[in-house]
Structure 1
Amino acid sequence: MEGGDFFTSFRDSDEYQSFCDHPVAYFCAEFALESDFPIYAGGLGVLAGDLMKEAFDRKFPMLGIGLYYYVGYRYGSDDVKNGATELALKNPEDHGLEPVCGPDGKRIIVSLPSEGRNIKIAAWKYQKDTAPVYLLDTNLEENDLEDRKISWFLYTNDKKARIKQQMILGIGGYRFIKALGVLPSFYHLNEGNSAFLAYEIAREKAEEQGINFIQAQELVKSKVVFTNHTLVPAGNDVFENELFSMILSNYSDEIGVPLSDLIAQGEILGANAFSMTRFALRSSGKINAVSKLHGEYAAKTWPNYPIVPITNGIHIPTWDLSKDGEVVKKHDENKKILLNFVEEKTGQKWDQGDLVIGWGRRVVKYKRPLALIDDPDAFTSLSKNGKSVRAIFSGRPHPNDVEGNEIVKIIKKLADDKLKDRIVFLEGYDIELAQKMVSGSDVWLNTPYVGFEACGTSGMKAALNGTLLLSTDDGWMAEVDFDRIGWSIPSNRVSNNLINILSNQVIPQFFDQKDVWQQRMAQAREFIKSEFSASRMLREYIEKHYLD
């Protein structure tokens, strides 16, 4: 059974009724729910948002737990430290969020102890064609100003605020679900940011069965699912034991468990540090990587843990900008929309017949965003004999990522100088801009070092809309037959290989073999719909994690 057939049959089963009584609780630090809703930074949040939409479409009982960020990802917390007072705090109700209240009509508020005081936590509910998503909030009058700011910034560089966010998400999230009266069947950790909830599950189990905390930790693993999305160190939080002890000592006293026992589960021996990823691995009964290749690398990195691959998928209705017509015709219309947007934002007027290459995602060094334009003269030489090649770049580096911000500066400088009229950098990369780019570009470029990109779903969104792929064989791309939907780039000497493939294969086919190009557009679209949808991903979660 595929797609809808599986879910239709599943909804008639006893197992489905059990999930109705005990839904899956899905924890994530970010959710991409609306384009201008600043509670997501990139792929992790987009994936979480897509899953919430798919659960709603398929009527699968699931709820999301995240944080409400009043400023979000667009600014670094250093802005506040440096005295900035003009930061626009986003009102939750402006995005249609409702305060979560109990039967008495009063807001549900839970608390957790840290640094000699109790941090109060409320929540907002989002549910617009998604499974319900509860966003935790500490910006309450009852809290100190420092604690009110915990939920201002997404991925703050302030380690103290960061570990508190993860306490709020994990421990606070667990307590909130309990106060809501929900008894989940599974707690699904989408990355390790929420792993502290494992303490709460173990504490409760120890009290119920009269056993010690260590024994309880082993028993509750079967209730915890962990999805790892990256092997890159920057994506795996590590806190010094001294900071961990300072922030969690009151919690340790409250639950009657020594700090040493709490630290032991995530301790990096010899480093005097606590790893959230290591803790999540040790606390989970089921673990998955997000592509087959990622699974292979993860198994080598963490050989003592059984890790299964469940390749990410995309929510087709969100990303399908070609659904109302034949793919070639719709792509032409979408390309016109994209080129009009480029002209509006940059003043550059490109021709509909130009070959347009798109690159859009988080700007970070390992993704090699400069590969195409590392040699500006080589890129310029691709345009000749009346055949023009253009490129659109967009993306956000982390505010504190020096290398990522420098890469953006280099691209912008080239766009204003040597490659003026050949490339542009579009500001404000979000869901809406991503939709324009993946549906209107002719080629979608992806050049990470192999082994660094766990999955990378932007190419799925592009191929769904008839945009052909030009990529290294990393993440989900290692599962692709490029003969049908694009071209594979050898990862070594990527810039030279990229220019050669464009010159000898991509450009001739685009300009001189339209029938072949258009056939591949249709193949790409059908391939994504059949193999890389969020429907398939959710089904695998159910079969491999929630039922197995």
Structure 2
Amino acid sequence: MSVFACNTSQEVNGVSWLHGKVSQEMFSSIWKGYFPEENHVGYVTNGVHFPTWSATEWKKLYGKYFDENFLQDQSNPNIWKAIYDVPDDEIWNTRMTMKKKLVDYIRKQFRDTWLKNQGDPSRIVSLMDKINPNALLIGFGRRFATYKRAHLLFTDLDRLSKIVNNPDYPVQFLFTGKAHPNDGAGQGLIKRIIEISRRPEFLGKIIFLENYDMQLARRLVSGVDIWLNTPTRPLEASGTSGEKALMNGVVNFSVLDGWWLEGYREGAGWALTDKRTYQNQEHQDQLDAATIYSILETEILPLYYARNKKGYSEGWVKVVKNSIAQIAPHYTMKRQLDDYYSKFYNKQAKRFRSLAANDNAKAKAIAAWKEEVVSKWDSIEIVSSDKVEAFENGDIESGKDYTITYVIDEKGLDDAVGLEMVTTYTTPDGKQHVYSVDPFSVIKKEGTQYTFQAVCSLSNAGSFKYAFRMYPKNPDLPHRQDFCYVRWFV
């Protein structure tokens, strides 16, 4: 279906910058003759609907301090900077209000379910008492697919136990989500988390909330302090739960994948690198888990509990404010829709009007032109070439200009052929990437024969490959991949 869609759509986009890059690679075989980074796959990073996912308390706070046109201009970063004018204690108190609401909701909604499913009433009462709105609350809520790595936190249970049982730094983890009915591995993750949560050392410290739905999601993304996301790189297309949390003063702690690769700002959240250290996934999981533990122990928990005389952490509030001011405006639905309009919808609407005008005259002309190219493409002939000796023996000097000439018989296509020199380099993983593309210009025409010339050079020394690419050109095409005829030669 994806291949069919790519072949029948003018535009293709990923839902984050990284997803766009991954998609270029995934679907590169569709557009033969072009490198992944050359194809037309773009991206629009997902955003979230601010009025839906922002808690009433936060909307009131924003309305009090932000510009009156905030909702109409919510993707304007300058408006969000007003968060720095909000008194620190007001930010802290709003966060505490939302935490208490979350805890009250959990106690009310899950008491009967837990009594029914988990047996021992005294144990459930103890669990309810241990849910602490004054502790640092870390949320993890999403579809339980294996690439989301919900298990990562439980890699070293001894170390995790020391973290959650430190009386100086109370912390609790709230997990929720569902697995697809046919995803046995995802269901297994949920089962393991529930089993761990029932151990004495984790009772009331690791909590799994059943029956994940939008109501619970709203409570969670507004009530926790940290939103944790640990996907396997680079399998997170975008992710939006962290964006929803962001609108409510919740700080993100995530692998640099999906939207967070673009969104992360130092001092406005925490991140695990986007780079893989190990190809072995088990080793990578162990390293990532150790990194999470370390950041919790040395950065997040000490900062959260560094309370001033008024009872709140000035450093934590600063991170919250930075997160809202520097990141939130870029992940609203308003910004997403603006991007779709400017990058895709407006462009395609204009093209449609152009193609449909005068009884589809331009569309008919393009179709006829394509038919002509198809009928003559294989007969196009390279009459002669004039490459300097350096290109023949591969002894090219960096920084030096070289003039290259080709004579091509277009067989009556009438200046419908383009020519360019493509230079590539090879990365350690064996993949070729485009270093430069030097276009040729037509300097002479005799009958059906066209003389092409280009001045080419390499600005850097190194090992490069080059070849010449011939392609059909038409200014009315939206991009090269719309009509992917290519011929390579050296």
Q: TM-score per shorter chain, which class?
A: 0.5 to 0.7
Counterpart residue number, 1:330: 94
Contact 1:415/1:422 (8 A) holds in 2: yes
Is 1:284 aligned with 2:284? no
Q: Which residue of 1 aligns with 2:183?
A: 401
Structure 1 counterpart of 2:251: 468
Match of 2:386 in 1: none
Q: Name the residue aligned to 2:45.
A: 311
Q: Is the 8 A contact 2:246 2:328 kept in 1?
A: no
Match of 2:192 among 401, 410, 416: 410
- AA in 1 matched with 2:147: Y
Which of 221, 226, 229 is the aligned partner of 1:443? 226
Correspondence 1:377 to 2:377:
no
Question: Which of 430, 433, 437 matches 2:216?
Answer: 433
What's the offset of the Cα at 1:528? 4.2
SS at match of 2:256: coil
TM-score (norm 2): 0.54
Task: Give the 3-state SS of the residue equivalent to 1:437 in structure 2.
Answer: helix
Q: Work out which structure has the larger RCO, using CA pairs closer than 8 Å and 6 or more positions apart in sequence.
A: 2
Aligned equivalents of 2:265, 2:232: Cα separation in 1: 18
- Residue 323 of structure 1 aligns with an amino acid whose one-letter code is K
Separation (CA, whole Å) in 1 of partners of 2:223 and 2:203: 21
Larger radius of gyration: 2
Equivalent residues in 2 for 1:89-488, closer than 5 Å: 276-303=1-28, 304=31, 305-321=39-55, 322-325=58-61, 326-344=90-108, 345-346=110-111, 347=124, 348-349=128-129, 350-382=131-163, 383-418=165-200, 419-488=202-271
CA RMSD in angstroms comes to 1.5
Deviation of 1:481 (Å): 3.3
The answer to whether the Cα contact below 8 Å between 1:291 and 1:475 also exists between their aligned partners in 2 is: yes
Q: Are 2:265 and 2:326, in contact at CA under 8 Å, matched by a contact in 1?
A: no
Conservation of the 8 A alpha-carbon contact between 2:12 and 2:42: yes
Which segments of 5 or more consecutive residues in structure 1 lack a partner in the other structure? 1-275
- In 2: Cα distance, 1:423 partner to 1:343 partner: 15
CA contact (8 A) 2:252 2:269 kept: yes
Does the 8 Å CA contact 2:264/2:271 hold for their aligned counterparts?
no
1:390 partner letter = Q
8 Å Cα contact 1:482-1:488 kept in structure 2: no
Give the Cα separation in 1 of the matches to 2:143 and 2:297: 27
In structure 1, how many angstroms separate the alpha carbons of the residues matched to 2:133 and 2:224?
A: 11
Aligned residue for 1:495?
A: 289
Q: Which aligned runs of 4 or more in structure 1 are off by greater than 6 angstroms?
A: none
Report how many aligned residue pairs link the two structures. Answer: 273
- Residue 460 of structure 1 contacts residue 528 of structure 1 at CA under 8 Å; is this kept in 2? no
Q: Which sections of structure 2, spanning at least 5 residues, go unmatched? A: 32-38, 62-89, 112-123, 277-283, 308-312, 348-490
Map 1:37-116; keep pairs closer than 5 Å: none
1:14 matched residue in structure 2: none
Structure 2 letter corresponding to 1:365 = T
Using the size of structure 1 for normalisation, the TM-score is 0.48
Change (3 A) 1:368 1:479: same
How many Å separate the matches in 1 of 2:317 and 2:154? 27
Q: Does the residue aligned with 1:324 lie in a helix, a strand or coil?
A: helix
- Is 1:509–1:517's contact at 8 Å kept on the other side of the alignment? yes
CA distance in structure 2 between the partners assigned to 1:334 and 1:355 by the alignment: 13
SS where residue 547 of structure 1 aligns?
A: helix
Structure 2 match to 1:206: none
